[in-house]
Every structure is written in C-alpha cells, then in structure tokens.
Amino acid sequence: MNKPVLGIPQNTIEVLQKYDFSFQKKFGQNFLIDTHVLDKIIRAADINKDDMVLEIGPGIGTMTQYLAEAAGKVVAVEIDKNLIPILSDTLSGYENIRIINEDILKMDIRSLALEENGGKPVKVVANLPYYITTPIIMGLFEEHVPIESITVMVQKEVADRMQTGPGNKDYGALSLAVQYYASPYIVANVPPNCFMPRPRVGSAVIRLTCHGQPPVEVEDEHLMFDVIRASFNQRRKTLVNGLYNSDKLGFSKETIIEAVESLGKGASIRGESLTLEEFAKLSNYLIRLRKEE
C-alpha cells in the first residue's frame, strides 16, 4: 500500500503551492500537519478493514490517506470545489476512496450510508469546521444515520461541553443532546501549532460512541429537547420560568410547577442542575399531564 505523506508540514506546503490554493475562511479550513495527532485519531476511531468511514471535510486528503490505509472503504465529503482536483491527485494511489463534492448539511447521509455500507453502521471521522460542528454532529444523530462512532477534531471548548455533567458552567443543551445519543470521551487536546493556518483556539479530539439504545426512556424525543433548550435559554431563570417563557411548549404555569415538583427538588431549581434522566422524567410527566387535560 501507499505510505501517508501529507501529515508532514513540508509536503502539505508543496501541495498547496503546486495548486496555488488559498484558504477559504467561509469554510473554516485548518489543515492538520502533525503525524502524531493523525495517528491518535486513527487509533481512537478503532478502524479496521471491515469498516466504512465517512470523512467530513477531507481538505487536501491528509487524514484521508491514513483512513484509507486502515479502513475497507472511505467516503469523503468536501464542500470546496477547489479542493476536488487536489484530492484526485493526493489520493490517486488509493482505490478504496470515494470523493463527493457536496455540502454535508444538505445531503441525505442516511441513504448514503445505507447505499455504501449495506445498512451496517459506519464510523465517522473528521476534522470539523468549528463554525458548524454542532449542526453536523446533531444532524447525524437526529437523522438516525446508522453510526457506530464519531471521532472528530473540534474546538476544545465544544469538546468540554459535550462531555460535562450537571452543575458545570459548560453544561447545557449540547451536553445533554450528545449524551442522549452517545458516550463522549476526550481523546487528546491539540494545540494550534498542529494546524495550517493556526486557529486562534485550542482543539480537542473527541470520540462519541453511539448508544445501541438511548440511556433513558422518553415518550417524545422532540418535546424533551424543547424542554432542555427552554431550560438553558435563560440560564439565570428558574426551571419553572424558563419552561413557562418558552414559545415552543405552551404549558400553564400550574402544570409546569406540578411537573417540576414531581422531581422532588422544589420549584426553585434551575435547569443546569438536572441530569438527562431527570429531563426525561420531566418531559414524560408533562406529556401525562397534557393527556389528562
């Protein structure tokens, strides 16, 4: 097989100069130039020849080369059309890669995964553009794409939010959403000098191992997430006021107070003190009260 070469900074520079490539700020492009970090990502993703990997934002193909060495098949989705001829060049030695020039947020990823991997769960690996990290990850979860794990490079602050629990300042709707669908684990912190150009913030590799079944029983997923978002929209307000002020919920104050008090914590608690299990109980209780009205 071929030996991956793009993790070496000089080789990346040569490719960029050869194609006179200009970084597009609107696409949040920061290419990895550290072989140790690339090795860590591949190890954390636990890829083998039976796996199909979906890579989002391959850039010039740096990580794609590593993925192609480890996986049976790699489908790489790149939004920037200027990178397609570069990818065709840097990945020309590999026969197990398909490059798609599309916006991942506008694609039917579920159909793609079914078509490319016969319904078996895929592994997602990506160095994500930081400005759309959350929509991409939540899109994969909410569309119920068959996924075994998601191993991604994200902004350090976002990785911290994904894995934190109640009572922490970073805890919020993203923490709960990610933990409903997957078990998060921060693999490594990555400093700005591992990228070209250097981002202004620290980064982290996080692995999200998808649950076979959600860890809590919820009668209405959408309602639970509306409750969660309302709870954190106005963090300083009590949970009761946060839910009552939401234009998505439409429950009376009496109903909300009864539901919150059913948790046994008093009506003055804030959303940031509730666990995922308690949010599930709260939304299930609200559904029950709605049916009784």
Indicate if 70 and 25 belong to the same structural domain.
yes
Q: Give the CATH number for residue 183.
A: 3.40.50.150
197 shares a domain with 239? no
Question: Do both 154 and 36 map to the same domain?
Answer: yes
What the block records as the tokens of 169 is 């300042």
227 and 143 in one domain?
no
For 138, counting Cβ atoms within 10 Å of its Cβ (0-12 exposed, 13-18 middle, 19+ buried), the class is middle
Give the pLDDT score at 78. 95
**Coil, strand or helix at 217:** coil
Is 4 inside any structural domain?
A: no
- If you count DSSP H runs as helices and E runs as strands, how many of each does the chain have, helices first? 12, 9
- Contact between residue 175 and residue 163 where contact means Cβ atoms under 8 Å apart: yes
Residues 156 and 226 in one domain: no
For residues 249 and 206, membership in a common domain is answered with no
What is the per-residue pLDDT for 237?
Answer: 84
Rg over alpha carbons for the chain, rounded to the nearest Å, is: 21
pLDDT at 85: 95
- Below-70 pLDDT ranges, the chain: 1-4, 293
Whether residue 16 lies inside any domain: the answer is yes
Q: Say what the pLDDT of residue 293 is.
A: 67
The enclosing domain of 239 has a CATH number of 1.10.8.100
| Cβ–Cβ < 8 Å for 79, 57 | yes
The answer to whether position 227 is within a domain reads yes
Tell me if 2 is assigned to some domain. no
Is residue 205 left, alpha or beta, with left meaning phi > 0 and alpha meaning psi from -120 to 50? Answer: beta
Using DSSP's 3-state secondary structure scheme, residue 291 falls into helix
Do both 25 and 159 map to the same domain? yes
Domain boundary among 189, 210, 231: 210
Provide the pLDDT for residue 129.
81
Do 94 and 125 fall within a single domain?
yes
Range of the domain at 231: 221-292
pLDDT tens by residue, 170-217: 999 999 999 999 999 999 999 999 998 888 899 999 999 999 999 999
Please indicate, yes or no, if residue 128 is contained in any of the structural domains.
Answer: yes
Pair (116, 242) in one structural domain = no
User: Which residue, chain included where needed, has tokens 């003055």?
Assistant: 268
* Residue 216 in domain: no
Closest CA to 150 of 126, 129, 172, 180: 126
Residues 189 and 261 in one domain: no
Is 1 domain-assigned?
A: no
**265 within a domain of the structure (yes/no):** yes
Give the CA-trace dihedral at 53, 54, 60, 65, to 10 degrees: 0
Q: State how many domains the chain has.
A: 2
CA dist., res. 177 & res. 133, Å (int):
14
Residues 269 and 129 placed together within one structural domain of the fold: no
Instruction: Identify the domain boundary among 210, 241, 268.
Output: 210
Whether residues 72 and 194 share a domain: the answer is yes
- pLDDT of res. 2: 63
| Boundary (domain end) residue, out of 161, 189, 210 | 210
Do residues 64 and 58 touch, judged by C-beta distance below 8 A?
A: yes
Q: What is the DSSP letter of 219?
A: S
- pTM for the structure as a whole: 0.92
